[in-house]
Amino acid sequence: MWLGAQNGWLYVHSAVSNWKKCLHSIKLKDSVLSLVHVKGRVLVALADGTLAIFHRGEDRQWDLSNYHLMDLGHTHHSIRCMAVVYDRVWCGYKNKIHVIQPKTMQIEKSFDAHPRRESQVRQLAWIGDGVWVSIRLDSTLRLYHAHSHQHLQDVDIEPYVSKMLGTGKLGFSFVRITALLIAGNRLWVGTGNGVVISIPLTETVVLHRGQLLGLRANKTSPTSGEGSRSGGVIHVYGDDTSDKSASSFIPYCSMAQAQLCFHGHRDAVKFFVSVPGNVLATLNGSVLDSPSENPSTAATETEGQKLKNVLVLSGGEGYIDFRIGDGEDDETEENAGDATQVKPVLSKAERSHIIVWQVSYIPE
């Protein structure tokens, strides 16, 4: 287990036993913002725009004293995010994505993820032959091809969130993407308003009110580049010259199939994590929101198909049910009569929360 700290310290602990004991540590020259492991290398992204690349020594132990330092730019900016894409690492640096070859420790390819130079790539999520990218202070997700780096699709979540919740629930703050994850064949999106959205990934054509919202992988859109309405929710891009494998899966998605969770956070969604698990079986379905969502029914429907269960966790400050509000006024009145409280205590709605969802899906 590798842990990076804001003060620049990097710690390595055992994930097997004696977790508290620190096996290795080293002080780097700036805050650690991201960590990834690929093919025996650990890449550490720092706030000063450099990458520290670690490897094992001859004794097969991690050698933290001997590492390679890569500089991604002369005007130093933070490397806000990284993602392993096959045997490469994509790094978000300013408005660009740098594709790193970990073995040679070279930048293999660089391309703009956003036309504005002052923009910043904030999150990356990879599956199949596609990488979803979010931009700081932006409500639009962008899909890029994992090999050709071609821009494939735009998805703007702001109209959907405003339609589902109304502008009153969101206050005056605009919708921006603060967390991103792919799990359970879904794209999970967290916003600065505390809203969690999950969108099924698809490679089939999806038509909604006559508008093309998705397309089969490796096929181009017949309407791409013509008649697309400016400011629409989704744009799909295609190129007949793209060299793609027939078996590739490109994770397109459509907001027409999106689901907004009414359980959210009062502040920004800070992170998503997914782990294998099945808690509904042990709880006898007591946490199911809908009676129609019966595990036994789902099991019979998917007979002969291997069903997998994954738990998706979101972390953020506070909890709110968007259907009824956050209930802050009620809790304030309850605590008002308690004269024994000397210092202010955070109400339940204000404390940091982890919300857990269970998703059942059939792997691709």
Handedness of CA 126, 237, 92, 119 (dihedral sign): negative
Answer for the pair 267, 316: CB distance below 8 angstroms, yes or no.
Answer: yes
Q: Is the pLDDT of residue 276 over 80?
A: yes
Nearest to 44 by CA among 85, 86, 76, 12: 12
* Proportion of the chain above pLDDT 70, given as a percent: 73
pLDDT at 344 (0 to 100): 62
Higher local confidence (pLDDT), 74 or 124: 124
Segment 276-282 mean pLDDT: 79
1-112 is classed in which CATH architecture?
A: 7 Propeller (2.130)
Q: Is the pTM of this model over 0.85?
A: no
Segment 324-337 mean pLDDT: 52
pLDDT confidence tier of residue 70, bands split at 50, 70 and 90: very high
pLDDT at 346 (0 to 100): 73
pLDDT at 364 (0 to 100): 67
Up-side HSE of residue 322: CA atoms within 13 Å toward CB?
Answer: 23
Longest dimension (CA), the chain: 73
Q: Is the pLDDT of residue 130 over 80?
A: yes
Q: Is the pLDDT of residue 328 over 90?
A: no
pLDDT at 282 (0 to 100): 61
pLDDT confidence tier of residue 230, bands split at 50, 70 and 90: very low
Q: Where are the domains of the chain?
A: 1-112
Segment 60-84 mean pLDDT: 88
Under DSSP, the state recorded for 173 is P
pLDDT at 77 (0 to 100): 86
Q: Is the pLDDT of residue 330 over 90?
A: no
Q: Enumerate the β-bridge partners of residue 208.
A: 211
pLDDT at 329 (0 to 100): 45
pLDDT at 6 (0 to 100): 96
pLDDT confidence tier of residue 168, bands split at 50, 70 and 90: low
Higher local confidence (pLDDT), 7 or 169: 7
Contacts of 266 (CB under 8 A, 6+ apart): 194, 316, 317, 318, 319, 320, 326, 349, 350
pLDDT confidence tier of residue 307, bands split at 50, 70 and 90: confident
Q: Is the pLDDT of residue 270 over 90?
A: yes
pLDDT at 351 (0 to 100): 87
Phi and psi torsions of 211, nearest 5°: -100, 135
Segment 123-135 mean pLDDT: 96
Higher local confidence (pLDDT), 280 or 305: 280
pLDDT at 53 (0 to 100): 96
pLDDT, the chain, mean: 80
Q: Is the pLDDT of residue 46 over 70?
A: yes
Handedness of CA 323, 324, 325, 326 (dihedral sign): negative
Segment 209-223 mean pLDDT: 41
* Proportion of the chain above pLDDT 90, given as a percent: 55
pLDDT at 113 (0 to 100): 95
pLDDT at 145 (0 to 100): 95
Spatial distance between the Cα atoms of 321 and 263, rounded to a whole number of angstroms: 5
Segment 186-213 mean pLDDT: 76
Residue tagged 């007591």 (tokens): 286
Distance (Å) of CA 148 to CA 101, 130, 240: 15, 10, 12
Contacts of 92 (CB under 8 A, 6+ apart): 79, 80, 81, 82, 113, 120, 121, 122, 123, 124, 133
